[in-house]
A and B are shown apart, each in its own frame.
Chain A
């Protein structure tokens, strides 16, 4: 699936991901009010990945309705609506509106590492995670996924709270809090100073998180973080993910990355004698 925040502003761009083999798309994270995000520079890219502090730009739930309606109507694909808020009331209200748009599921962004008062600032508190998930669960008519932050000492306790709150799945991970300094300008590069690291650089953090969460909860885990190839995806499945999302690799490989990863994954399965994806899920836990 297409990860949240990547090419998720317009229906047409998400349709492009679907046409290129994505099994579904997660929209960018939508809040109550329009939000411009931070000033540029909002990204800093390097060989192993990407640092971003977009600042959750989004047109607000009201304006975004037309994007989802268009996407559902014209693509017929699987659409997961991502939402963020500052407390359980906001998450509840957004969950209600978003599910009324006939999305196939909701992803709760409890994990953006660089926005004040939302994202990981509330998503690192296990009680808050439980309350937010419960509220979204009560107001939503579709499955609810909790997307967690790796910027915490125990992502599995967050996962356990999300499960207690009624989450149908856990998504891990969001970006890792980080920064870039320009030595020649002697200052931080991102206008927000801090940002979130993604891409190849975070794959091993993501794998560890998925592995830990798989051992802690009974609901499915969805892996995301540094998946570029079919073998990366297989590693996530073996760590315990039942599905996976791709973000940064889309910038590098273009929207065709989805069909490429699918192809590589099936080639890997054939070579390694797996006949179904299910046989791979969590297998790394049985081998230790």
Chain B
């Protein structure tokens, strides 16, 4: 097989970005592009997909503690070994000279390396949203990359009160963009795809599905026949609006189609 060789790597650093959000760093010289992901194996626990939040020779992924695997990962330290397979999937493309980044919750982790790479020399605006102020991270890194950062929280504890899509709408009403780059909860992403269509701005949206193989063989990640692991995770907004299941249904681990 030409892809997906398992590598065992040592953690070089682990930092807490905000409450319950951690970045694990490791060294790996594989070439990676913004938006691509790896399968991370917490030995003895489980293996899960994670977007790369750092894509150089010093690589990293950033995650929120949700369940068993992410808890185990958050408790590891420098020198501990984990398995990584990848990198997998397609990536974000820099299109034009004006980019709007939209990140919801942990989704910011998937678009940050695109912001790092694409913002310099371009007009870049980043709308970052979370449930509350404890969920905001990478705002500083976005700014450093050269983006204008707009923050929103559902409860108003930081930045503007309300959904990140409301902020994005106002930005789009005010200003034209050549592309939108977004990741976050799927319902939010559906809103983003609709906004993009309304404002006639092509959108590149990173989607999530339950993953097993990561290499396009098991069909676990199928989104109406598009394999998120191989054809995605980044899809055009228009394409996603044409997928019945986008924002509505997903496949559970056994393969049953269940509402989101």
Q: How far is the CA of A15 from the CA of B83 in the complex (A)?
A: 34
Minimum CB–CB distance from B143 to chain A (whole Å) comes to 36
For B231, give the chain A residue with the smallest CB separation.
A254
Q: Is the CB of B215 within 8 A of A39?
A: no
Which of B217, B225, B227, B257 is in CB contact (< 8 Å) with A50?
A: B217
- A89 near B: Cβ within 8 Å? no
Q: How far is the CA of A248 from the CA of B254 in the complex (A)?
A: 21
Chain A: interface size category: 35 or more
- A266 near B: Cβ within 8 Å? no
Chain B: interface size category: 35 or more
Chain B hits for A248, CB < 8 A: 1, 217
**Residue among B3, B214, B253, B255 with the most chain A CB within 10 A?**
B255
- A216 near B: Cβ within 8 Å? no
Q: Is the CB of A40 within 8 A of B1?
A: no
Q: Is the CB of B4 within 8 A of A9?
A: no
Chain A hits for B213, CB < 8 A: 42-43, 52, 251
Which A19-62 residues sit within 8 Å CB-CB of chain B? 28, 34-37, 39-47, 49-50, 52, 54, 57-60
- B39 near A: Cβ within 8 Å? yes
Q: Is the CB of B255 within 8 A of A191?
A: no
- B44 near A: Cβ within 8 Å? yes
Chain B hits for A57, CB < 8 A: 212, 220, 253-255
- B174 near A: Cβ within 8 Å? no
Which of A12, A37, A184 is in CB contact (< 8 Å) with B253?
A: A37
Q: Is the CB of B218 within 8 A of A182?
A: no
- A63 near B: Cβ within 8 Å? yes
Q: Is the CB of B212 within 8 A of A37?
A: yes
Q: How far is the CA of A187 from the CA of B42 in the complex (A)?
A: 12
Which of A34, A182, A247 is in CB contact (< 8 Å) with B83?
A: A182
Q: Is the CB of A7 within 8 A of B1?
A: no
Which of A5, A13, A36, A45 is in CB contact (< 8 Å) with B215?
A: A45
Which B209-258 residues sit within 8 Å CB-CB of chain A? 212-220, 222, 224-227, 230, 251-257
B residues contacting A by CB (< 8 A) are 1-6, 8, 39, 41, 43-44, 46-48, 81, 83, 85, 212-220, 222, 224-227, 230, 251-257
A residues contacting B by CB (< 8 A) are 5-13, 15-16, 28, 34-37, 39-47, 49-50, 52, 54, 57-60, 63-64, 66, 182, 184-185, 187, 189, 191, 199, 247-248, 250-252, 254
Kindly list the 6 A-B residue pairs having the minimum CB-CB distance in the complex, ordered from nearest: A12-B225, A40-B47, A9-B219, A59-B256, A251-B217, A45-B1
User: With A7-B218, A251-B217 given, can you name 16 additional A-B contacts, CB distance below 8 Å?
Assistant: A6-B219, A7-B227, A9-B222, A12-B225, A28-B219, A41-B39, A41-B41, A41-B47, A43-B217, A57-B220, A58-B255, A182-B8, A184-B8, A185-B8, A191-B46, A247-B217
